[in-house]
Amino acid sequence: MQQPDFYLIVYDIGHPRRLARVAKLMEQFGKRVQNSVFEAWLTRAELRQVMDRLQSRIDAEEDSVLIYYLCTACSEKKRKIGKSVVVIPPGVRIV
């Protein structure tokens, strides 16, 4: 089984109904860290599925979705200030 990679997915959606549909989809695949920002550990197949499903939910002329791949070393260098959400990699247990 393929190991998941870490992604930062951000979006700007112009219509409230599309915004709600995109947010609901993203909640199935990642963890919301800010209003329109999700962190997700995804395999290539899951990433393709997210991208396909996002494509069918947005208006490409009006909306924007950005997906950033962050290598494991980069994701570990993340710095937080203030209230934040911790997204734990799959298979990791915090004791």
- 91: pLDDT strictly greater than 60: yes
> Structurally, what CATH architecture does the domain formed by 5-74 represent?
2-Layer Sandwich (3.30)
- 95: pLDDT strictly greater than 60: no
Domain residue spans of the chain? 5-74
C-alpha 68/C-alpha 87 separation (Å) is 15
**Beta strand ranges found along 13-94 (DSSP E):** 31-34, 37-42, 64-70
Mean confidence (pLDDT) of the chain: 89
25-52 per-position pLDDT tens digit: 999 999 999 999 999 999 999 999 999 9
